[in-house]
């Protein structure tokens, strides 16, 4: 395989104007996921000569007759030795249109928690299906997780088309099977692409081997999928992260509330309410690096100053008077359990929700989900690693939240074991 020269000089103005797409990839072992990512990196010229030399050498050492692109993404030594991926790895590439962040998550049954992690920040998920095997249990599992995490765009890549003679029939059958299965999932945009990651068919260019396929190539799809409206621009939410008080001569009385606009839009002069106090005021200025902004969109990190001198601290939330989140100590959620140590009913845990920390008690386990069939299991409430369940918690202090389906940022929380400090649960508020 020849190294490709990057000939085109870069256009700075265009680079500074690109947007960002985060996606995750899921597939079962040997579906060719690492090869696909290697292919995307290679074809977008994101691979350097020294990296290429290293994998050429490694391919030869392993006695492979070709350059194994999957070796590009095998990070840790244990993985290289076993030839598997054991943790979420992040990869980067850019085309003139977009910059991409890939959360590369392993497909093994025991690593559901990694897919949940990767999916939590993703705009889009690629689900790989081996053309020879069709829709299998893990395909369903991965798609369910993608829908649970509210990923709006799914691209089902039917891979290894070269091994089924690029058969339209095979592709259509898989597409139909997937459509039947996914009808119960809440994913608004699903696309299907027949590919060969190994040979590159329909990855970057439309392939001559699939004249019957009229859709776009994978890269074109990734470059053009419309994500601008996926973010919640309606419900203005500003969790206060940090209070800035310079107490210098120039800024003697300055008191700024630093945070990230998680959703909605804020402007100076907006009528706001600070939660939990309920005190009302107006935004005076929206400050960023010495400038006053006249409007701010998510997910921009800024600092607010407000008209009145009211008490606001970390963990509080600034919202608009006419659009407020739910406030409650009783919260119902879907939880993905991330730890070997099982969830304890009536057990106490620490939680982190937006910038707010609290403690909680697990009041009720409503059901556990069979993530292969999506059935509700109501006769076994043992929630262990990789299990997904619907639970009810009561918190020591009220949370200000929206349902996860409306707002990822104010609808998500993590559960932390108070003994070990390890993150043991990922919660999505219903």
Partner 1 sequence: MVSESKHNLTHLDQLESEAIFIMREVAAQFEKPVLLFSGGKDSICLVKLAQKAFWPAKIPFPLMHIDTGHNFPEAIEYRDWLVKEVGANLIVRYVQDSIDKGTATEEKGPNPSRNTLQTVTLLESIEEFKFDACFGGARRDEEKARAKERFFSHRDEFGQWDPKNQRPELWNLFNGKKQKGENFRVFPISNWTEMDVWQYIYKENIPLPTIYFTHRRDVVFRDNMWLANSPHITLMKGEEIQNKIVRFRTVGDMTCTGAVESTASTLEDIIQEVASARVTERGSRADDRRSEAAMEDRKKQGYF
For partner 1, the binding residues in 273-292 under the rule CB under 8 A are 287-290
Can residue 426 be called a binding residue for partner 1 (CB under 8 A)?
yes
Give the x-and-dash track for 311-350 against partner 1 (CB under 8 A): ---x-----------------------x-----------x
* Comparison of 181 and 254: residue with beta carbon closer to partner 1: 254
Can residue 293 be called a binding residue for partner 1 (CB under 8 A)?
no
400 with 263: CB under 8 angstroms? no
Give the x-and-dash track for 189-228 against partner 1 (CB under 8 A): --------------------------------------xx
| Interface size with partner 1, residues (CB under 8 A) | 88
* Comparison of 165 and 397: residue with beta carbon closer to partner 1: 397
Q: Which stretch binds partner 1 (CB under 8 A): 115-123, 130-138, 213-221, 379-387?
A: 115-123
26 with 230: CB under 8 angstroms? no
Q: Which of residues 66-95 bind partner 1 (CB under 8 A)?
A: 73-78, 86-92, 94
Least Å from the CB of residue 210 to partner 1: 32
Interface residue with partner 1, options 301, 329, 344, 372 (CB under 8 A): 301
Can residue 412 be called a binding residue for partner 1 (CB under 8 A)?
yes
Least Å from the CB of residue 241 to partner 1: 5
Least Å from the CB of residue 394 to partner 1: 20
Least Å from the CB of residue 421 to partner 1: 4
Q: Which residue in this structure is represented by tokens 């991330």? A: 338
Can residue 399 be called a binding residue for partner 1 (CB under 8 A)?
no
Q: What distance in Å separates the CA atoms of residue 143 and residue 426, rounded to the nearest whole number?
A: 17
Q: How many helices (H) and strands (E) does the chain have?
A: 9, 20
* Comparison of 92 and 212: residue with beta carbon closer to partner 1: 92
Contacts of 235 (CB under 8 A, 6+ apart): 263, 264, 319, 323, 325, 402, 406, 407, 410
Interface residue with partner 1, options 295, 344, 348, 373 (CB under 8 A): 295
* Comparison of 245 and 378: residue with beta carbon closer to partner 1: 245
Interface residue with partner 1, options 9, 66, 183, 184 (CB under 8 A): 9
Proportion of the chain in helix, strand, coil states, percent, rounded to 5: 20, 35, 45
Contacts of 9 (CB under 8 A, 6+ apart): none
Interface residue with partner 1, options 96, 278, 299, 384 (CB under 8 A): 299
Q: What distance in Å separates the CA atoms of residue 277 and residue 274, rounded to the nearest whole number?
A: 6
Give the x-and-dash track for 136-175 against partner 1 (CB under 8 A): ----------------------------------------
Q: What distance in Å separates the CA atoms of residue 232 and residue 265, rounded to the nearest whole number?
A: 9
Can residue 249 be called a binding residue for partner 1 (CB under 8 A)?
no
Least Å from the CB of residue 133 to partner 1: 28
Q: What is the CA radius of gyration of the chain?
A: 24
Chain length of the chain: 430
* Comparison of 119 and 154: residue with beta carbon closer to partner 1: 119
Least Å from the CB of residue 164 to partner 1: 32
412 vs 31, 148, 332, 336, 427, CA distance in Å? Answer: 31, 12, 11, 11, 6
213 with 194: CB under 8 angstroms? yes
* Comparison of 131 and 222: residue with beta carbon closer to partner 1: 222
* Comparison of 164 and 261: residue with beta carbon closer to partner 1: 261
Describe the strand order of the beta sheet including 124-130 as a list of residue ranges. Answer: 89-94, 98-104, 19-26, 124-130, 153-159, 189-194
DSSP state of 248: S
* Comparison of 192 and 238: residue with beta carbon closer to partner 1: 238
> Could you tell me the two tokens for 216?
């776009």
Q: Between 112-119 and 137-148, two packed helices, what is the crossing angle to 10 degrees?
A: 40
Q: What distance in Å separates the CA atoms of residue 363 and residue 365, rounded to the nearest whole number?
A: 7
* Comparison of 171 and 304: residue with beta carbon closer to partner 1: 304
Q: What distance in Å separates the CA atoms of residue 128 and residue 26, rounded to the nearest whole number?
A: 6
């Amino acid at each position: 395989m020849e190294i490709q020269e990057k000939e085109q000089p870069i256009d700075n103005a265009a680079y500074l104007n690109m947007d960002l797409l985060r996606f995750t990839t899921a597939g079962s072992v040997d579906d060719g996921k690492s090869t696909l990512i290697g292919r995307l990196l290679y074809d977008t010229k994101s691979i350097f000569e020294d990296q290429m030399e290293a994998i050429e050498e490694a391919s030869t050492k392993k006695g492979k007759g070709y350059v194994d692109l999957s070796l590009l993404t095998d990070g840790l030594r244990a993985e290289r030795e076993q030839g598997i991926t054991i943790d979420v790895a992040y990869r980067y590439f850019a085309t003139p249109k977009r910059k991409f962040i890939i959360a590369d998550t392993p497909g093994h049954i025991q690593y559901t928690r990694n897919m949940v992690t990767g999916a939590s920040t993703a705009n889009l998920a690629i689900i790989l299906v081996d053309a020879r095997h069709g829709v299998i249990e893990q395909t369903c599992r991965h798609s369910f997780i993608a829908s649970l995490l509210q990923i709006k765009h799914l691209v089902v890549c039917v891979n290894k088309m070269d091994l089924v003679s690029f058969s339209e029939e095979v592709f259509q059958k898989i597409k139909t099977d997937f459509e039947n299965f996914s009808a119960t999932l809440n994913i608004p945009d699903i696309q299907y692409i027949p590919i060969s990651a190994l040979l590159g068919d329909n990855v970057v260019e439309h392939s001559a081997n699939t004249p019957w396929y009229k859709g776009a190539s994978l890269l074109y799809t990734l470059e053009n999928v419309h994500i601008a409206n996926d973010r919640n621009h309606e419900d203005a939410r500003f969790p206060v992260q940090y209070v800035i008080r310079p107490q210098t001569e120039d800024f003697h009385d300055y008191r700024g509330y630093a945070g990230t606009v998680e959703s909605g839009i804020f402007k100076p002069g907006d009528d706001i309410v600070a939660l939990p106090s309920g005190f009302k005021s107006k935004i005076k200025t929206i400050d960023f690096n010495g400038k006053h902004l006249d409007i701010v969109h998510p997910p921009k990190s800024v600092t607010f100053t407000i008209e009145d001198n009211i008490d606001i601290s970390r963990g509080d939330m600034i919202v608009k008077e006419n659009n407020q989140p739910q406030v409650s100590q009783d919260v119902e959620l879907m939880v993905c359990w991330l730890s070997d140590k099982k969830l304890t009913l009536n057990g106490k845990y620490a939680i982190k929700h937006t910038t707010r920390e609290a403690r909680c008690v697990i009041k009720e386990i409503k059901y556990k989900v069979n993530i292969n069939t999506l059935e509700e299991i109501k006769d076994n409430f043992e929630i262990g690693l990789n299990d997904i369940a619907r639970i009810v918690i009561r918190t020591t202090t009220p949370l200000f939240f929206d349902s996860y389906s409306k707002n990822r940022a104010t609808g998500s929380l993590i559960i932390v074991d108070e003994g070990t400090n390890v993150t043991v649960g990922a919660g999505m508020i219903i």
